[in-house]
Amino acid sequence: MTLILFIAGLVALVVGATLLVRGASLLALRLGLSPLVVGLTVVAFGTSAPEMAVSTGAVLSGQGGLAVGNAVGSNIFNVLFILGLAALITPLAVHRQVIRQEAPIMIGGAVLLIVLGLDGVLGLFDGALLLGLLLAYTVFLVRQSRAESATTGPGEFADNLPPVQPGRWDARLPAQLVLIVAGLTLLVLGSDWLVQAAVAVARALGLSEVVIGLTIVAAGTSLPEVAASVMASIKGERDIAVGNVVGSCVFNLFGVIGLGAVVAGIGSPQGLSLPPNVAQFDLWVMLATLVACVPVFVTGREIARWEGVLFLAYYVAYVAYLVMAAQRHAGLDAFGDAMLGFVVPLTIVTLGVTLLRREAT
């Protein structure tokens, strides 16, 4: 029964996110937003709607650890797994605006979250601040788009959104509203089913809710991002894969965790508690992962296949560490020492040499 509930939850999340993205994208274009803004906000935020639905549902169910683990784990999964997998298919192009604007905002959001969580709790004020920053970021993008006189070129993130044919059923405003409502309904149902299944699995395996949230739930709720980025890579739309992931990470930091903290703060004066292992380890892994994007993005403004392999290897190592830590494996200390003392420094040196070589050429 738990497996059926889990699969049904994932299917509902994926279908719901697809309907929501389609309806919201068409509605946004109808309102006159540029394709770039649609790609960085509506599409990226829409594919992150499952994370918001699951985290909010987890908070309402009293599973705060699952809520935080889902958002943090989704960001780690987005960068290491999704970009790594997409780069394996074809080297990914990185738009100049992502390097200059979106990447610093993404990293700044991670730093702010760590600072706000130093006391181990995200209260109502913290959540309101994060949501306010998300609103300000969205307004900034909209105004920035409208201030640009030139039209978006063919290499921008959302330029390849499915065109709206006048005779299509979803070209009308009522149909777009139905898509949005249906998508949101499926997201709510799917999140509830997935949270129930994840908690049952955690109890059966003896794993904490945080570990389940960082791995199984994080990967499951990121399936829309996987589909969007991999399909974009297969079709040769390389920049949309990067834009979708970066935009989703920003939404997870400000929107998903922010809303969870607000909901928790309204229901309890204690707010949303950060599990100690998340505050002391996983938040820092997330920050390191986001920072690692910068040299990869800058080196030739693309993510090469070998860098994709490196991202995937790091994600496998991260999950292995979580599982070993949950089971208190005897080889955990040796594994951690090997990662920190050898693999990570070697990677930093390799990326540095690659950057110097590309600048020299």
pLDDT of residue 296: 67
Question: Which 8-state DSSP code applies to residue 302?
Answer: E
* Tens digit of each residue's pLDDT (9 = 90 or more) over 181-226: 888 788 778 877 877 787 777 777 777 777 888 887 887 777 777 7
Q: Distance between CA 100 and CA 210 in Å, rounded?
A: 33
Domain ranges of the chain: 2-162+171-360
Residue 43 structure tokens: 């599409």
pLDDT > 70 in the chain, percent: 75
Residues in the chain: 361
How far CA 116 is from CA of 79, 113, 226, 268, 279, in Å, comes to 23, 5, 30, 18, 10
* Tens digit of each residue's pLDDT (9 = 90 or more) over 7-30: 888 888 778 777 877 777 777 777
pTM of the predicted structure, to 2 decimals = 0.77
- Fold adopted by 2-162+171-360: A middle domain of Talin 1 (1.20.1420)
pLDDT of residue 1: 73
